[in-house]
Structure 1
Amino acid sequence: METRTRGEVVVAVADGVLMLDVAGPAQVWHWAGRRVRFASPDGRPARTDIGAPLGVDCALAEVDSKIDTLVVPGYPPEEMVSPPLVRAVRELARNARRIASVCTGAFVLAEAGLLDGRRATTHWMACAELAQRFPSVSVEPDAIYVRDGDVITSAGVTAGIDMALALVEADDGQEAALDIARHLVVFLRRPGGQSQFSVRESVRTARTGVVRTVLDAVAADPSADHSLAAMAERGSVSGRHLTRLFRRQTGLSPARYVEQIRVEAAKALLVSGDDGVATVARRCGFGSEESMRRSFVKLLGVAPTEYRGRFRANAG
């Protein structure tokens, strides 16, 4: 397809980088007419997770121009945070209009202090660890990607393509992004709010009986009373202790888990049924239609009616 040059994207790579985390987003930006450069901490080729060498254009410290987007792909658990990469990314971020991560690249951004006080996501299997290691980061395990100001983090592997398409759409408009999506044979958008994995599954590793009991009760009946007091009483602990257990084992507060479960239930009803939005809100435990709308906008970036229209259309 025809491309046009504008802006510059720098992909920061080091040994162990996940090949698909690099290739997918880079292809999107290349077709969007961006100059894509690969840079490593020492300027040497990087060894990808599958063993193939990845050539680079320069060392990260040698990138001296103002860049449009700095991208940090993911790494396997044993190579997740390389100190030289963290230092280089921290420095280079000062010259970037925006910073993006794919999959566990969020750990590099967090270690560099670039996620402090921000909302973020990563691969669903690593969300709890991200929340535990970096308590100043508000981790959103149910998101495909999260945009907080000039920092964008995406979930695992192919979610990097979704994120790159969303940024192209924001820069160049829907038609430009749609054209690239057609060439990639993917949907233009699984929006940031389209779940990367069911919230019920993403917290399935909760270990204590207290947390497991509360999780199961909320998932079984989203419309019931799930105030902190009610959940604490159900688990026979104080609200403060329950909150600590929740954050430690799931990366979420009890209230956030309840909200996500209710939104997940509402999403299913909106796509599969014909009940009005107010009825869906009531069936899923929201106090009002407006309350559900606020939760949808906050977690998904779209209103319930827009979500219904978009995903019912895609399903058809």
Structure 2
Amino acid sequence: MKRHNSPTASPSSPATALHRVVCIAYQGAMSLDITGPMQVFATANDMRKKQGLAPFYDLTFAGLTASPVTLSCGLQIVATHGIAQLSIKNNSTILIPGGDGIEVAQHDASLRAWVQRVAPRVQRLGSICSGALVLARAGLLDGLSATTHWCRLPELSALARDIHIEGDRLHTYDASHPKHAHIFTSAGVTSGIDLAISLVEADLGRAMALAVARQLVMFVRRPGGQAQFSPLLAAETRHAPRLAKLLEWIPSRLGDDLGVEQLSIQACLPPRTLARVFQQELGTSPAKYVERVRLEAASALLSQPHASIATVARLCGFGHPENLRRSFHKTMAISPQAFAERFGMHPPS
């Protein structure tokens, strides 16, 4: 059975074996880097159980040796396997967390050698937060885009051997990219949860990812950063091939009239047909989709320094700032001002 360089079989195909997710726990690892992503996979199993389906994920905590591991917060977990004793199959995902303990873990020769050995055999190998330093020292990020916690970016850059550092991204997982579907990284702490949601979507489909996100009270893709905007659109065009050109066109015309008549002309489809295709492929109406893209664009702009709410409202097609405020309150339950103060470099003028 060959190793996959792309996501698991299509969501509609039955799983013939549990997909094993192994999270490597070492002394001083960040607890949320481990428990956050693993809870996402566990919740996906719970959702499947409620649907009368078998679990998809087999979750394993492994240590450098089989022993108790004390995490950075003082929580102690038991690594039931040592990495040397793990039976790694090709339908496996390996995750390397970050944390203060990475100062020692990244220099552990046994961990580095093990990661190098299993990398060609597993379906996916990724890192959470500063766990990217382990992958970099193992030479597995050469020629790839990579990210990590913002405070570790200079360190990752110093290790770079043809690594393209992308410090503004939540993660580099890309199910359509042959390399980034196999080796990937994520930014600080909670971005590991964002990464796990993306893996669930690749494995089990968007509906399951939405169900898991809803259960965990989180966004499928977090607003608040420029990096989240383009990946969202790329994913949507893959899921909606009949609308691909239209969905790529919409972001370049956010300040224009994007009513159903204009969209129908651009898509070369009658309005009723367009509405039906949107519902079939994206599960929403053209108007709601346009509002969502405008909101994502506004979120990205508001995260920039000195972004004016009035200017953002005009550029993104909301017209009056009050329309932007209503959309933010309806979707995120916060104001654009509060969003900018939380995610932006400076509050808006």
TM-score, normalization: structure 1?
Answer: 0.61
Question: Structure 1 residues 46, 91: closer, same or farther in 2, change over 3 A?
Answer: farther
Unaligned stretches of 5+ residues in structure 1: 197-260, 278-308
Partner of 1:272: 312
Partner of 2:155: 129
Partner of 1:119: 145
Partner of 2:32: 20
Structure 1: distance between partners of 2:155 and 2:44: 34
Structure 2: distance between partners of 1:16 and 1:71: 16
Structure 2: distance between partners of 1:311 and 1:11: 37
Partner of 1:166: 198
Partner of 1:254: none
> Is 1:106 paired with 2:132?
yes
CA contact (8 A) 1:39 1:58 kept: yes
Letter in 2 for 1:126: R
Partner of 1:7: 19
Structure 1: distance between partners of 2:129 and 2:86: 24
Partner of 1:50: 73
Question: Structure 1 residues 126, 80: closer, same or farther in 2, change over 3 A?
Answer: farther
Q: Deviations over 1:15-47 (max 9, x none)?
A: 111111000000001122211101112222222
Letter in 1 for 2:208: A
CA contact (8 A) 2:61 2:79 kept: yes
Letter in 1 for 2:219: F
Question: 6-15 or 99-108: which moved more?
Answer: 6-15
**Residue from 136, 139, 159 that aligns with 2:165:** 139
TM-superposed deviation, 1:57: 2.1
Question: Structure 1 residues 61, 310: closer, same or farther in 2, change over 3 A?
Answer: farther
Letter in 1 for 2:133: F
**Residue from 207, 225, 229 that aligns with 1:175:** 207
Question: Structure 1 residues 135, 263: closer, same or farther in 2, change over 3 A?
Answer: farther
Question: Structure 1 residues 27, 262: closer, same or farther in 2, change over 3 A?
Answer: closer
Question: Which of structure 1's runs of 4+ aligned residues deviate more than 6 A?
Answer: 261-264, 309-312
Q: Once superposed, what is the RMSD of the aligned Cα atoms?
A: 3.3
Paired residue secondary structure (2:315): coil
Letter in 1 for 2:31: M
TM-superposed deviation, 1:311: 12
CA contact (8 A) 1:12 1:89 kept: no
CA contact (8 A) 1:39 1:59 kept: yes
TM-score, normalization: structure 2?
Answer: 0.55
Letter in 2 for 1:75: G
Letter in 2 for 1:31: T
Q: Deviations over 1:74-104 (max 9, x none)?
A: 0216335133222222222232101111000
Q: 1:191-230, aligned counterparts within 5 Å?
A: 194=226
TM-superposed deviation, 1:56: 1.4
CA contact (8 A) 2:44 2:208 kept: yes
Structure 2: distance between partners of 1:69 and 1:174: 19
Partner of 1:74: 98
Structure 1: distance between partners of 2:329 and 2:96: 30
TM-superposed deviation, 1:262: 9.6
Structure 1: distance between partners of 2:316 and 2:20: 46
Structure 2: distance between partners of 1:25 and 1:62: 23
Question: Structure 1 residues 163, 179: closer, same or farther in 2, change over 3 A?
Answer: same
Percent identity for Structure 1 against Structure 2: 35
TM-superposed deviation, 1:312: 9.7
Unaligned stretches of 5+ residues in structure 2: 1-14, 46-56, 174-179, 229-299, 318-326, 336-349
Q: Deviations over 1:161-185 (max 9, x none)?
A: 0000011112111111111112211
Number of residue pairs aligned between Structure 1 and Structure 2: 218
Letter in 2 for 1:274: R
Question: Structure 1 residues 149, 192: closer, same or farther in 2, change over 3 A?
Answer: farther
CA contact (8 A) 1:73 1:102 kept: yes
Structure 1: distance between partners of 2:62 and 2:75: 16
Structure 1: distance between partners of 2:184 and 2:43: 20
Structure 2: distance between partners of 1:191 and 1:83: 39
TM-superposed deviation, 1:110: 0.8
